[in-house]
Every structure is written in structure tokens, then in C-alpha cells.
Structure 1
Amino acid sequence: MIGAITLDQLRILVTVDETGSFSAAGRKLRRVQSAVSHAIQTLETAHGVELFDRTSRTPRLTEAGRVLVNQARQVLRQTELFERTAKAISAGLEPQLGFAIDSMVPTEPITRSLKGLQTEFPDLTVSLFTEGPWSTEQRLRDGTVTLAIGTITPVTAQSLRAYPLTSIQLVPVVAPDHPLAQVDGPVTRDQLSQHVQLILTDPTQSGGQSFGVVSPKVWRFIDIARRLEFILAGFGWGNMPSHLVERYLIDGGLKQLAVDDPSVTPTALAIYAIHRRDNPPGIATTWLLNNLLEQNWR
């Protein structure tokens, strides 16, 4: 019972609206017509509102009735969701799934897995965090998420369980009107250091942890998409995942720099699915992890 309302009364109200009459609702609910009429009258009396106009042969919803029957449907849907969720949790399903994704990781394999997760667990609440480098690991450590996709460092790997997924090629790129784009032949490390480098940084660390820094002149970004916009606008050069800049390299919006120093750009950045060893995944997280491992990441 909710105050002076019972769920049974709300079901009767909705059924009368769906079937078009008290007698039809009684047949569908396997109740005598008088029981249906009594339930509706009880609702009307308790709340001082007329739900049906009974002046015609077939009762019709009043304006107030049309509003309240829609609210009754919402209450019944939420009740059903509550019951399904409680049953799933009692069977071992996580109340919610926290999932962090490094912003450099390709999106399509992840969306395919999440679509499957949604089909498999339609009532599961998912909290999705798109992070810069290192932040995914921090989300795991503070318990915000139970599963992350991103990079790991050897220093912290011992406390994490990591599953290889793919690797990302990083390429140095610059806008076509930038001075570095005008250099004939390979660009030297010294030439790179003379220009602003746009880098990703870790907002959780004092001073901002970074990698692949060559130039003493840097602009730091947390959001990789925003950094790409600034590279496209000619503010400087930067190492970008090849899958994020491929279309710009094709249409001329960016130019890939040929660099004579292989240490400037890592050949590949390994990407893993990660969870804490002391916080193993639950039913839904395990399903998602296994599905991610089955995806074609190429």
C-alpha cells in the first residue's frame, strides 16, 4: 500500500482504461464487475477525484483520470523494475556497474560490447567514465569502477589483473600550415623542441603526469578530443592515436611528421581490460569483460 493507494487498485485502474469497461477489466483480471467498480470508487473517494465519467453507457476517463492513469502506469512500471532488480541482486548481480575507458581507446568494440550488456542485463545501471591516461587506474583504485580499459604502469601492475586487448599506434601530427609541416625531410628532435607540444596530462597528480614530452614548451590537456581540436587549429604538434586522426590525414586536415628520432613516438601503446585483484568482477562485469576479450579490435 502507498498511503491510501494499493498497487492492486492501480492495476485495476490501468486495466479498465486498456479494456474500455469495468466488465471487460473484470474478465481480464478474473474479478467480478462489482469488485472492479468498488476498487475504482474507493480510489475516487479516498482522493476526492472523479476518474470516470459514468453518464454514458461506457465509462470514459475524465481529464483528471487521463492524467492519473498515466501516473499509475509509471508507478506499476517502477514497481516491476524494483522487483526484477531486487531478484537479480539477490542472485548475485551487481547493483550497478562502474566502467572507465581511456579516451584514446577505439570506441566501436566497446559500444558493441555495451550493446550486448544492455541486452543481457536490461535493468542494470551503468556508470561510464571516459578518462585521460592514468585516470582509469585511479577510478579502479578509489572504487568508483570495477572495470577499466586503458594503460597500466609496471609500478602499479602487481595489484591489478590486466587482460591484453589491443595496441594503439601513436603518430606525431601537426596542422598543414604549421612551420613543422613545411620542413623538408625528417624532422629532428631539436626542431620539435622549438615548437609548442600539446600533451595529455593526469589531472589527479600534482604537476600533471605526462609522457612523450619532447619540447620544453608544452600545453597540457585532460581531454584528448579538445587537444585534437587545438592541433587542428595549428597551436602546436602532438602524438595522437592513429585511429583518431586517420580521416584528417586523408583529407589534409593534418600532416603526419616524419621524425628521425624513434624515441619521440612510442611504436605502440598497449591497452588492457583491468580490474583490481582484491575486487574481482561480479556477474555483469564478468560478462562484459569476456565480451570485450572476444571483440575484434583491429
Structure 2
Amino acid sequence: MLDTLTLDQLRVLVMVADVGSFSGASRRLQRVQSAISKSIRTLEDALSIQVFDRAGKYPVLTPAGSALVDDARKLLRDADVLKSRARGMAEGLEPELGLAVDPLFPNEVLMRALRELETEFPTLPIRLVTAGLGVPERHLREGAVAVAVYSLETTGADDLDATFLVTIDMVPVVAAGHPLARLHGPIGREDLTRHVQLVLSDTGPAGWQRGLVSQKIWRFADVYVRLEFLLAGFGWCNMPRHLISPALADGRLVQLEIREQTGFQLPLQAVRLSGKLPGLGASALIRNLQTLLKQGEDV
């Protein structure tokens, strides 16, 4: 008999429980009272239990009925979510939005953009992966994500669609107690090569070499782990300015003045597979990122 249970019966159950009478439910639902009573009787028959005690002037939920009302509310909420998701997908919203982001991208901007996306599309599941250098592109090509935020310069790919987002200032820095911090005037390449350079691991096929100077290399897969080693004085490296601004301000890090190169700029893009139109969620996310970046969010 459970297969005769309907969402409409559950709505009637919840309404009667909320207003406390069959007559009140009939007015709220704009149905005759006999239809409300019949719906409750059919529900009780389907469940083989008594939901309401009708002995008094007004129906009172039985203990079993009280428990079922809570379950009914959850089922109705789930049904509403299902209908909302289906409606969104019919209009072009993705069943799920996969996103891979290079940690060089400002977290503050990313989090605000994702919050706005959740507000606009509350039923859209979002799957986020943070990984550096060639990893976002690999996730994109494998179909694991629909959008990858990273710099195409790091992989050299020219067969993908990309939307420019922001240029990241990469500056050479070292801990205040490091020997390089005590050198006066512009530092030459010969000075740098004698010290350890902390480098992010490159999974790209060609190996990204920009900014690579030293003969002593320590490689890191995580930019935040590299930052810890940098602050501990193990070596020097080029870091995104927005990530190290607090440490520069309080003196824990010192920006190096290098004779040959005083840093460089790295463009970051929102990258998609070529020729594949983005869904509503992906389009909204890219738009949110662009808007926030134009507003000057800590970059």
C-alpha cells in the first residue's frame, strides 16, 4: 500500500498539523473539507496507522503521527529541491559544477565568488579542487572539471578557450634573517645561484622555467608549504604579492632587488575546453570572478 502514498497527501498532513483542524486546512489549500478528510484517511490506510486522534473537537496528532509529520516535512523539502534542480537543468544549469583553481589565485576573491554563486543557484552542487601548475589543466582535459583557473603560461597550451581574469605580481622575497636579506644594493645572479631557491613542482610536459635561477632547487607541490619554508629561512623564491603582503608589512619577509629581474607578472585565466559552451553555473562563476576583480579585491 505504500506505493499509493503521494506528495499531495503529505502536504495535506503537514497543513492539518500546522493549522490544527481539517476546516483550517481546507481553507488554506482551497479545497472542500471532505477532500481533506478523505486525503488523511487514505494516508492512514496506506501507512496502516492512525495519524490523528479525532475524539475531540479538533484533530490531535498521535505519537506516530507526530513522528511522521517530521518525516513528511523532510520529504516535501527534498521534493522541492528535486523540482528546483530539474527546472534549473532544463534551463541550462549543470547537474554539478567542477572547478579546479591554482592556489596562486586570491582566496578572498574565490570565496566571495562562490558564495554569490551559491546564492544565485542554491541547488547547484559545486566540487572544488585546488592544485598548482599543470594539475588544473589535467583535471580539465580529463573532464573532471568544467572550469580551471590557472595561468596558461605554465603549460603552454594553445587549444583551450580562456577568459582573462587577473595579472598576479610575482616578487622575489626572502626571510629577514636569510643571508640574501643582508646584501646591499641590487643582487646579481651569481649571488642567487649560491642559495636554495624554493620552487613549485611543475607537472607540465615541458617544465615551466620562468623565474628559475638557482642551481640549488627545493621543489614543493603546495604554495602554502613553500611559504612556511620561506618564512623559516630555508631559501628564496618568487611569491604572489597578495599572498605575502602581511609578511612584508611586518618585516618577516624582505623583497629582493635583483639586478637582472625584479620579479614578473603572471596572467591567470578561467580556462574551458575549446568549443564547449559553459553552463549557467560556469558562466555565472566567471562573471562573478571578473566583477570582484574589477572592484579591486586584494590582488
* TM-score class normalised by the smaller sequence: 0.7 to 0.9
1:17 is aligned to 2:17: yes
> Which residue matches 1:31?
31
- Amino acid aligned to 2:65: G
Query: Under a length normalisation based on structure 1, what TM-score does the superposition of the two structures give?
Result: 0.85
Does the C-alpha gap of structure 1 residues 52 and 290 become closer, same or farther in structure 2, counting only changes over 3 Å? same
> Which residue matches 2:276?
279
Separation in 2 of the partners of 1:17 and 1:280? Answer: 48
Separation in 2 of the partners of 1:231 and 1:181? Answer: 12
How far the C-alpha of 1:209 sits from its partner, in A, is: 5.9
> Which residue matches 1:212?
211
How far the C-alpha of 1:73 sits from its partner, in A, is: 1.5
How far the C-alpha of 1:269 sits from its partner, in A, is: 0.7
**What is the RMSD computed on CA atoms of the aligned residues?**
2.8
Q: Is the 8 A contact 1:102 1:133 kept in 2?
A: yes
Q: Is the 8 A contact 2:174 2:237 kept in 1?
A: yes
Separation in 1 of the partners of 2:113 and 2:248? Answer: 29
Separation in 2 of the partners of 1:31 and 1:280? Answer: 46
Does the C-alpha gap of structure 1 residues 153 and 56 become closer, same or farther in structure 2, counting only changes over 3 Å? same
Separation in 2 of the partners of 1:166 and 1:125? Answer: 26
Does the C-alpha gap of structure 1 residues 297 and 271 become closer, same or farther in structure 2, counting only changes over 3 Å? farther
Separation in 2 of the partners of 1:56 and 1:290? Answer: 59
How far the C-alpha of 1:120 sits from its partner, in A, is: 3.2
Q: Secondary structure at the match of 2:264?
A: coil
> Which residue matches 1:249?
248
Where do residues 38-187 of structure 1 align in structure 2 (5 Å cutoff)? 38-153=38-153, 156-187=156-187
- Amino acid aligned to 1:98: G
| 1:104-155 deviation line (CA, Å, top 9, x unaligned) | 0123443443344333333222222222122222222111222222100397
> Which residue matches 2:265?
268
Q: Is the 8 A contact 1:100 1:147 kept in 2?
A: yes
- Amino acid aligned to 2:3: G
Query: Under a length normalisation based on structure 2, what TM-score does the superposition of the two structures give?
Result: 0.85
Separation in 2 of the partners of 1:65 and 1:219? Answer: 66
How far the C-alpha of 1:96 sits from its partner, in A, is: 2.2
Separation in 2 of the partners of 1:253 and 1:116? Answer: 35
Does the C-alpha gap of structure 1 residues 58 and 249 become closer, same or farther in structure 2, counting only changes over 3 Å? same
Q: Is the 8 A contact 2:163 2:269 kept in 1?
A: yes
Q: Is the 8 A contact 1:98 1:127 kept in 2?
A: yes
Q: Is the 8 A contact 1:136 1:150 kept in 2?
A: yes
- Amino acid aligned to 1:193: T
Q: Is the 8 A contact 2:154 2:204 kept in 1?
A: no
Q: Is the 8 A contact 1:97 1:126 kept in 2?
A: yes
- Amino acid aligned to 2:96: Q
Does the C-alpha gap of structure 1 residues 56 and 208 become closer, same or farther in structure 2, counting only changes over 3 Å? farther
- Amino acid aligned to 1:267: F
How far the C-alpha of 1:285 sits from its partner, in A, is: 2.2
Separation in 2 of the partners of 1:3 and 1:176? Answer: 72
| 1:9-38 deviation line (CA, Å, top 9, x unaligned) | 111111112212222112212233343233
| 1:204-247 deviation line (CA, Å, top 9, x unaligned) | 55898665333333332222122212222333322110000001
> Which residue matches 1:258?
257
How far the C-alpha of 1:266 sits from its partner, in A, is: 4.1
> Which residue matches 1:8?
8
Q: Secondary structure at the match of 1:157?
A: coil
| 1:244-283 deviation line (CA, Å, top 9, x unaligned) | 0001111122222222331xx6421111222221322123
- Amino acid aligned to 1:227: R
- Amino acid aligned to 1:114: L
How far the C-alpha of 1:163 sits from its partner, in A, is: 2.3
1:239 is aligned to 2:238: yes
Unaligned runs of 5+ in 2: none
Q: How many residues in Structure 1 have an aligned counterpart in Structure 2?
A: 295
> Which residue matches 2:228?
229
Q: Secondary structure at the match of 1:169?
A: strand
Q: Secondary structure at the match of 1:3?
A: helix
Separation in 1 of the partners of 2:198 and 2:295? Answer: 27
